[in-house]
Structure 1
């Protein structure tokens, strides 16, 4: 028995509708009513964690007042241990990724660790517009001596004073 083009088109439509229904059902079951297209990912070795921005003004630049509140919120989250966190050993590779629309705006990432020659701040990704991945770096180059390293990811135009979104992650140094 051969299928005619109408039957093939009908089967294709059923597959598309079924896939959309399953995808929507999964999002609703997870409590998500819309797709979040502003995400950053921290990768350590073969593991990763994904986060929504801690500071976000619905796609508009974050004002100076909101930036101050963002820094306070980040400090509180760091103290309370509520930032997305990953364990790391010095030999791990660490990298950061962003959603394509974040990459199209432009972004950069850095840690509060590194050599004193770099001011105690190490770049994971210099300002980039387009690429979604920072590449991997050896963890021992970006960690600070306290054992808790803060990774900051910023979306925005490098020529603007106000970012669009800011993400924070915490790396906890483990003994090898």
Structure 2
């Protein structure tokens, strides 16, 4: 027995509608009436880690005090192991993605690793509006020697040059 393309397309539509229904039902059951539209994703090889922003001011730029609090909160989360984490090998390819509305505002991503000639910081994605994925690059280019590399993703208001949302991810270097 073989299925024709109409039957396959119909089954695919049922799966998509079913998945959307389940996702919405879970959000409603959890007391959420809206989907979180501010997410960042770290892709390492074939795995990905999705996170909500560590620092967020409901879409308004963070004040100087909020930015200071954000850095303190990030340091505490790193020390306690509470940042979203992913294991990585130097040969893995990594990339960063953001929600479409974050891409519309504008964003950038960097790591606290890489060549010392760059001050120990490597850009994964320079500021841009529109694209929602950084592309992928070899992890070895952005890792630091401590074995724990922090990836920072920032949605930024280009006019005020102030962050709107900030995400942090931790890469744990594994030997091949």
Q: Residues 123, 26 of structure 1: CA spacing in aligned structure 2 closer, same or farther, 3 A cutoff?
A: same
- Please give the secondary structure, in 2, of the residue aligned with 1:156: strand
- Matching residue of 2:5: none
- 1:42-61 counterparts in 2 under 5 A? 42-61=42-61
Between Structure 1 and Structure 2, how many residues are aligned? Answer: 160
Contiguous gaps of at least 5 residues in structure 2: 1-13
- Please give the secondary structure, in 2, of the residue aligned with 1:37: coil
Distance in 1 of aligned mates of 2:131 and 2:61: 21
- The CA RMSD over aligned residues, in Å, is 1.7
- Matching residue of 2:96: 96
- Matching residue of 2:27: 27
- Please give the secondary structure, in 2, of the residue aligned with 1:163: strand
1:85-117 alpha-carbon deviations (Å, 9 max, x no partner): 000000000000000000000000000000111
1:25 CA drift (Å): 1.4
1:21 CA drift (Å): 5.0
Distance in 2 of aligned mates of 1:34 and 1:130: 23
- Matching residue of 2:69: 69
- Matching residue of 1:126: 126
Is 1:106 the counterpart of 2:106 in the alignment?
yes
Conservation of the 8 A alpha-carbon contact between 1:127 and 1:158: no
TM-score by length of structure 1 reads 0.86
TM-score by length of structure 2 reads 0.86
